Structure 1
Amino acid sequence: MIYSKGGASRTLKKEVIAADLVVVGGGMSGVCTAITAARQGLRVTLVQDRSVLGGNASSEVRLWILGATSHMGNNNRWSREGGVIDEILVENVYRNPEGNAVILDMILLDKVKQEDNIRLLLNTSVYEVHKAAGDRIKSLSAFCSQNSTQYELMSSLFCDASGDGIVGFLSGAAFRMGAETREEFDEAMAPDTSYGELLGHTLYFYTKDVGKTVSYTAPAFAMDVTKEIPRFKNFNAKEHGCKLWWVEYGGRLDTVHDTEEIKWELWKIIYGVWDYIKNSGQFPEADTLTLEWVGMVPGKRESRRFEGDYILTQKDIVEQRQHPDAIAYGGWSIDLHPADGVFSDRQPCNQWHSKGIFHIPYRCLYSRNIENLFLAGRLISVSHVAFGATRVMATCAYVAQAVAMAAKLCVQQQLLPREIGQTGYMKELQKELQRSGQYIPGFHLSDSSDLVQQAELTSSSNLDFKGFSKEHMLWKPLTIAAAQLIPVTVGTLPIFFLDIEATQTTVLNVELRGSERKGGFTPDRELAKMQIRVKPGFQTVTLDFELELNEDQYIFLTFLQNEHVRLAYTHQRISGLLSVFNGVNKAVSNNGKQVALPGSGVDSFEFWTPQRRPDGHNLAIQLTAGLSVFGVENVRNGIDRPTVRPNAWVAATDDQQPIISIKWKKKQHIRRIEINFDTDLDHAMESVLMTHPETVMPFCVRNYTIEDGNGKIIYTQQGNFQTRNVIELPESCVTDQLIISLEHPSAEVPAAIFAVRCYA
């Protein structure tokens, strides 16, 4: 084509896009908001100013996605977040167990592009907000640098998931930046000015062994880290990527407007670190290593936090305060860093854990003064101290899913975000979240539209747990204290037996512990204890605590450290049963016990955490009486993970053809079936750098079929690996019975289901 060189004025191409919800920010929070909303039937515009999705999880930054599981280093059992963020993490492990950040980019793009209701705008930055009368946003102006196009994005609802809060800032939404005083929210952990009020940015780098000598010449701007970094001796040739999270800078600057200056300082450090590793002579093992990748975009921790109708604080987290409008939970430690970052001579972080997961209320998810603005991600309404626990990606994404469900209600009922809590729709929001796989602590799903609630449930078998298999037992030394988590019910505690081996005459100390907080997994309540004198050799110890229990709970059958004893373990794994150890996980400041500083406002307690597979075997305990806690009624009790009970139906291990039968008195018209399987909600599923020992969780049912009352197969699944299976039948199945036939995941793991729901 030939164009005239005439001097007429020209304008950019402009496109107007109307949607039910505009989501600004394509990090994990924006992605999960957009996907959740699109699946609820909303037309969504997702705006991302980068060329990939995922934000800090993307290949541009390469930080692992984490949340309440905290590297499996805290006492939050079965706490991995549900819904879309769970779906993404499970799929990433399936497709990408090596933790390749580029593959995660692809998975996120693929997930978003599969949703017809999402219009994705990459490389597009919002630069202007247009408001209607009052404090309500009418539209946004955005520009894409790649296609030189201006967009006008129109909607009745907007969600700011941009991290720095560009929409909130330009619209005039109330926000905070920096730490509050201790007095404002009575927060003992509020930092003083010497510690600093903001967390800084971090850049990561990756190395690669090329199998031959590689030289390195540092750029002129590289820093001499031996002179300027107090902790330079902590650098080594093995750790890279987000294991160097503590290479942090910028907490004394404006973490929005000074980001480019912060980035240059971090580049100076990174290239100086590599100069030290390659050329100091201290690391001969680095001879064949090359610097494969250095981040171009800093991973941001903190900038603006916007004010909602409620500001979450330290006491909400530590005391695990209950909120009637809870829509999600967090479980990361209160994790604050000195503002001087890598240049500080203080320890690089202060992580203080609570004894369990904590509520996040809906009132934190919308602006208190901009009527149609939702908040998602790290910018939600929290204090600086509470931000230390809510800022991590899996928590941010989990909370963001609630924004999407709230937006659906707003569109359906013609509501503004605040009005959901004022007009009685909160229970509806919580119900819809739970239906989508979002666990809310202390709540259970009550859904009258679920046809399973009116059916007769039977199964071919229910596991009556009397102990683990003794075939191919493992013997492990009791070098650290070990415990078996056991779900027990009201009544007399059974007698336990365990095979042990002693190398000499010794005393084995055994304690039975529970949790002070109902549903918690911190063994801080002593129920009983005994000392058993054992002789050298193999023997079976009998543990009769003669105890009556007045409530359902998990107990910890605890064996204290004794280097002269080995305990018997089993290869068998069962949903809702887990071993834990009083070990150490320094990645999350777990040194076996948290000792609170005087006046810090946090608790002191022991950490009892699981081991990662292929370890993490159960103790091979036996019982005098079976634990009848795995019945088929669990699939409709409205709780889809272990709490005070396993909440799962588990088939007997010798049931060769396990089935669940759902029978109605009259024929039903069934169009949708939902089944929730066990994908090990205790496994952290870090998205990058760390690898995983399997692509499919060992508890997950892979193969099953569903038949109607006439024996006709209406659905077959082969090779399932996901938690939540949603089956949309092409046409209604008219039947008075459904039969779900399952295969055991393996010879060592019986089939299990957390939930079955059916809808017309």
Structure 2
Amino acid sequence: MTVKKQEQYDVVVCGGGLAGFCAAISAARHGAKTCIIQDRPVFGGNSSSEVCVTPHGAAAFHAYARETGIISELLIEERARNHAPILENGWTNSVWDMTMYDMAMSTPNLSFHLNTSIVSVMKNSDRTISAVVARVANAETEITIAGNIFIDCTGDGIVADQAGCEWRWGSEGIEEFNEPHAPLQASKDTMGNSIHFRAKDMGRPVPFQAPEWAVKHEDPDYFYKQGRPFQSLHGGYWWIEIGVPWNTIYDSENIRHELTRHVHGIWDWIKNKDPEMKHKAANFALDWIGQVPGKRESRRIMGHYFMTEHDPANKTVFPDEIAFGGWFIDLHTPGGLLAPTAEPASAEGYAETSEYAIKSYCGPYGIPLRIMIAKDIDNLMMAGRNVSVTHAALGTVRVMSTTALMGQAVGIAAAYSLKNGIPLSEIPTRGIKEVQQILLRDGCFLPNVSNEDPKDLARRAIVTSSSEAKLVGVGPESRGVSGLKERSKQPDARKAEPLNHRRGQLIAIGEEGLDAVFICLSNPTDGVQLVEAGIYPADHIWDYRVNTGKALATTVLQVPPGVDQWIEWPVQLDHDAGLITGRYVRLDLMANPHVHWYTAGTFEPGHVSSFEMGKGKMRRYGGTLSFRVEPAQSCYGAMNVINGVTRPSKYTNLWRSDPNLPNAQWIQLSWPDEQTISCVELTFPGHLLHEYHVYEPFYRDPQCPRDYSILAWVDEEWAELERIQDNYQRHRKHQLHSQINTTKLRLVIHATNGDPSAAVYEIRCYS
């Protein structure tokens, strides 16, 4: 006997991967009675402990481009709680699952059904869904779940398909949109599914015998000449992937079985046949093999806009921007393990200056809401890999951290639509400004939108501070904890690399003018080397144009033989010469492979570097390059906290206290008239520079304030409103116990998680 139940919600989210989870959390937080339906026992989709794909995003290719909002809350919390390291793939454990579960349990207005699959869709008109019918596994229970708005985050577009929406499958031909990555002819082929494995070093020799049904690998060229590298003996090889000739939806079980056969065969090759690897792997034993294939591509649902590869490549500015991306246009070869080679980037050894790398590098770019609103159903949205994009554009928007941003945006848009009675199709025009401001207030970042919230009282304040750091510069000898704790695999460690390509270092400009710059170089030859140098304007930290405009200064530097040499360039630039306070310039050295430019021993906040990859484009380069400036630049001023941007972009956008002074350092907002304040919202630095998987266990970003107080000037003295201890989250909202009438508000940072400077990106105040 099947038990039948009925439930009613404002918003019904189908699919509990990162897109669906963030959609449900955001809708519930904004007052919508929300339900999330997930067909697996855990949240997280491909990121869960069942599949173990590390969430990737824009920060893999762009400094300070890590995704914030709900996904950031989750990943910061996971690193602070988890004892386990995170490698490239295959290393997710149940701490991540439980971090998500904890958030779901702690969110008012949110209900969920795990182990529950959508079996059918009910409609009350041609253009409106009334309910979905779901079946609970192992419970003989069927639930009809009604809602006002439905969000399809199933990946495969199950709800949209059953509701009759138009969708696409496979690759568009080049003649349709003239996309650089499109094939000559349209194709039904898709990227494949992957499973991961994990291996463990046992400290002693461990034998391995493959089962008879394993694939037999005998040819080393299959790995070494066809783009299938052994990144780590611990596992996590994304290229264990199969799609064509199987259908990624209907043949998922066949694909899982074939992938399992290949894992055993690949491990057999490593352990018993590869001349080099078998010695390295002698002490390793298989620890885990995934049995839930992670999908990359299937249905793409048509929305109110169809995003092509040209949009991320050209950084199209959309009026309805609600998320951003920055992964490269990553299109895997159909067939995976059955294809002649793995995907192109791997096949060419992840070259950074090849023709393929140049045309694939993109972002950070904005993503429009319209690709997430179904054109055929009035109350259906979607987020994740099933949004309205071409196959080529999917190559960049499909990664999980990007889909999480899409999910948070559609959840907010759905709640806003219901609260204000605006149809979903009209949100990109009638409600977009409000949705964008809500996203920013909730900790998200939009490349082309800043805080313009008229309710934010802080925007009217005069901001002062106890002290202010100045940019002096950093060198090979510099040490610090700004960004990451030092790890040998990270680009923060001291190194000097030849100038094989043009290289550039951004420098934030204060009010002082720029008399001289100093660059730490080495010349291992016996003679003087000449290096062309220039200082150029830069629109923002991701301005990757080689030619950004007329040079502010140029010279030819003479570098004598020797190491660790600080070469002085007296540039004598002022604002009449083109310097702009509150913007960056880029210090470029042209190619000369006989000269080496040192990376600094630490990362200077907001100061990123790049190198020329070809065809007039730059791309991210390591950490901060070694440079010094005279005079020191006042680029970390207190007024930065109300400029509307919560990470480096056109400027540092950060207040930092003088690192030579002890805590407690403070920053203060003052108004000419008394303000009524009931809520204070803070955005701290940290967790922006690199991707999540490079952060170590139990990580708490040193830049993030640990202990702090919020005080108000009341009755001619400072009254403490809040005192927070042991913080490590970057975005905090404090609802005060009662409203306070005051003309001054002060944030006092008593201790950070390690950085000598107190620092804040944004302070907001609301009545």
Closer/same/farther in 2, CA of residues 743 and 531 from structure 1, 3 Å limit: farther
Counting only pairs closer than 5 Å after superposition, residues 54-453 of structure 1 correspond to structure 2 as 54-70=44-60, 74=61, 76-96=62-82, 98-99=85-86, 100-102=91-93, 103-192=95-184, 197-226=189-218, 230-231=222-223, 239=232, 243-280=236-273, 282=275, 283-350=278-345, 352-422=359-429, 424-453=430-459
Task: State the AA in 2 paired with 1:461.
Answer: S
Q: What is the distance in 2 between the residues matched to 1:288 and 1:403?
A: 48
Query: Structure 1 residues 475, 271: CA separation in 2 closer, same or farther (over 3 Å shift)?
Result: closer
Which residue of 715, 721, 724 corresponds with 1:717?
724
The amino acid across from 1:731 in the alignment is: S
Report whether the alignment pairs 1:636 with 2:637.
Answer: no
**5+ long unaligned stretches in structure 1:** 1-10, 583-591, 596-602, 611-615
CA contact (8 A) 2:476 2:494 kept: no
| 1:535 maps to which of 560, 571, 580 | 560
Which residue identity does 1:575 align to in structure 2?
P
What is the match of residue 586 of structure 2?
556
Q: Which moved more, 1:709-718 or 1:94-103?
A: 94-103
SS in 1 for 2:652: coil
Aligned residues between the structures: 718
User: C-alpha distance in 2, partners of 1:232/1:498?
Assistant: 40
Aligned counterpart, 1:12: 2
Pick the aligned partner of 2:518 from 497, 500, 504.
497
Q: In the alignment, which residue of structure 2 is the partner of 1:521?
A: 543
Q: Structure 1's 219 and 539: CA in aligned 2 closer, same or farther, altered over 3 A?
A: closer
Distance 1:288 1:475, change over 3 A: closer
Q: Deviations over 1:150-193 (max 9, x none)?
A: 11111100000011111111111111111112122222321246
Distance in 2, Cα, partners of 1:56 & 1:437: 24
1:512 Cα offset (Å):
3.0
- Decide whether the 8 Å contact of 1:62 with 1:241 is kept in 2: no
User: Structure 1 residues 284-293 or 137-146, which shifts more?
Assistant: 284-293
Deviates further, 235-244 or 492-501: 235-244
Alignment deviations for residues 447-475 of structure 1 (CA, whole Å, 9 cap, x no partner) = 11111122332212233334448976797
| Structure 2 Cα separation of the partners of residues 175 and 94 of structure 1 | 41
Code of the aligned partner of 1:136:
T
* 2:482 alignment counterpart: none
Change (3 A) 1:749 1:531: farther
AA partner of residue 244 (structure 1): Y
Partner of residue 699 from structure 1, selected from 679, 683, 703: 703
User: One-letter code of the match for 2:367?
Assistant: I
* Cα distance in 1 between the residues matched to 2:234 and 2:119: 32
| CA displacement at 1:232 relative to structure 2 | 6.6
Structure 2 residue corresponding to 1:753, chosen from 733, 748, 760: 760
Q: What's the counterpart of residue 486 of structure 2?
A: none
Whether the aligned pair in 1 keeps the contact of 2:116 and 2:134 (CA below 8 Å) is: yes
SS in 1 for 2:58: coil
Aligned-partner Cα distance in 2 for 1:397–1:160: 13
Cα distance in 2 for residues equivalent to 1:542 and 1:411? 62
* Correspondence 1:485 to 2:506: yes
Residue aligning to 2:617: 605
Once the 2 structures are TM-superposed, how far is the Cα of residue 747 of structure 1 from its aligned partner?
7.5
Deviation, 1:744, is: 5.9
Equivalent pair of 2:636/2:653 in contact (CA under 8 Å): yes
Structure 1 residues 699 and 571 mapped into 2: Cα distance closer, same or farther (>3 Å)?
Answer: farther
Distance 2:566 2:293 in 1: 57
Q: Which amino acid aligns with 1:477?
A: A
Return the match for 2:743 from 736, 748, 752.
736
Q: Is the contact between residue 231 and residue 345 of structure 1 (CA under 8 Å) also seen in structure 2? A: no
DSSP 3-state at the match of 1:35: helix
The more displaced of 278-287 and 252-261 is: 278-287
TM-score (norm 2): 0.87
1:458 to 460, 464, 487: 464
Give the letter aligned to residue 509 of structure 1: V
The sequence identity of aligned pairs, in percent, is 31
1:498 CA drift (Å): 4.0
How far apart are 1:703 and its partner, in Å? 2.0
When structure 1 is superposed on structure 2, of 302-311 and 486-495 the one drifting more is: 486-495
Residues 757, 562 of structure 1: CA spacing in aligned structure 2 closer, same or farther, 3 A cutoff?
A: same
Aligned in 2, Cα 1:514/1:144: closer, same or farther, shift over 3 Å?
Answer: farther
The separation in 1 between residues aligned to 2:742 and 2:436, in whole angstroms, is 30
More displaced 10-residue stretch of structure 1: 677-686 or 393-402 = 677-686
Q: Provide closer, same or farther for how the CA distance between residues 258 and 228 of structure 1 changes in structure 2, counting only shifts above 3 A.
A: farther
Q: Secondary structure at the match of 2:555?
A: strand
The one-character-per-residue Cα deviations of 1:622-658 (angstroms, maximum 9, x if unpaired) are 3223323222111111111111111111222334342
8 Å contact from structure 2 (residues 604, 624) kept in 1: no
Mapped to 1, the partners of 2:187 and 2:169 lie a distance apart of 15
Alpha-carbon shift at residue 128 of structure 1 (Å):
0.7
Is the 8 Å Cα contact of residues 573 and 749 (structure 1) preserved in structure 2?
no
Report what 2:29 is aligned to. Answer: 39
2:677 maps to a residue whose letter is I
Instruction: Give SS of 2:120's match.
Output: strand
Partners of 1:261 and 1:161 lie apart in 2 by 24
Distance 2:394 2:425 in 1: 22
Determine helix, strand or coil for the equivalent of 1:441: coil
The 1:269–1:447 alpha-carbon spacing in structure 2 relative to 1, beyond 3 Å, is: same
CA contact under 8 A between 1:89 and 1:685: conserved in structure 2?
yes
Do the aligned partners of residues 217 and 518 (structure 1) sit closer, same or farther apart at CA in structure 2, a change above 3 Å counting? closer
Within the candidate set 38, 48, 68, 2:38 is matched to: 48
- Write the distance in 2 (CA, Å) between the matches of 1:693 and 1:749: 22
Would the alpha carbon gap of residues 516 and 183 (structure 1) be closer, same or farther in structure 2, given more than 3 Å must change?
A: farther
Secondary structure at 1:38's aligned position in 2? Answer: helix
CA distance in 1, matches of 2:698, 2:426: 45
What residue number does 1:509 align with? 531
Q: Is the 8 A contact 1:226 1:232 kept in 2?
A: no
Q: Secondary structure at the match of 2:191?
A: coil
Judge conservation of contact 2:131–2:144 (CA < 8 Å) in 1: yes
Do the aligned partners of residues 702 and 747 (structure 1) sit closer, same or farther apart at CA in structure 2, a change above 3 Å counting? closer
Q: Letter of the aligned partner of 1:201 in structure 2? A: N
Q: Which segments of 5 or more consecutive residues in structure 2 lack a partner in the other structure?
A: 346-356, 480-492
Distance between the aligned counterparts of 1:568 and 1:300, measured in 2?
42
* Partners of 2:530 and 2:477 in 1: CA distance: 24
Give the C-alpha shift of residue 697 in structure 1. 2.0
CA distance in 1, matches of 2:270, 2:541: 48
Q: Retained in 1: the 8 A contact 2:475–2:520?
A: no
Question: C-alpha deviations, 1:390-444, integer Å up to 9, x for none?
Answer: 000000111111101101111101232112134x211111111111112111211
